[in-house]
Amino acid sequence: MMLIEETDGSDWPTSKRRREDEIVVEGGEAATDKRKEEGGDWLCCVCMERDKGAAFIPCGHTFCRVCSRDLWAHRGGCPVCNRPILEILDIF
């Protein structure tokens, strides 16, 4: 059984990781993105590429919509807590 581990993405090639943690403001200075300021981890812990956009019912763990549907169809359980997935809730 393959386990899916939540990581910070530091071992991924830099070309694969998204660069949304910084935005450029007038004058060329870099500013922290609002999402990083809020302390939220918005990248899907499965693919590490897309923003989270779906939550599993009943556990509430969040993943991107593509990974959440793939996990529901092929695995049937949450990769974080292993609870069965009854429904997927799209979040915005």
Give start and end residues of each alpha helix (H) in 6-56. 34-37
> Domain total for the chain?
1
36-48: pLDDT as tens digits: 444 457 999 999 9
Q: What is the pLDDT of residue 41?
A: 79
| CATH of residue 76 | 3.30.40.10
43 Cβ contact list (under 8 Å, min separation 6): 9, 18, 49, 50, 51, 52
Q: What is the pLDDT of residue 92?
A: 75
Any domain includes 24: no
- Mean pLDDT, 10 residues at a time, the chain of 92 residues: 54 46 44 47 93 96 96 95 96 84
Structural domain of 44? 40-90
Q: What is the pLDDT of residue 32?
A: 42
Any domain includes 32: no
What pTM was estimated for this model as a whole? 0.56
Q: What is the pLDDT of residue 52?
A: 95
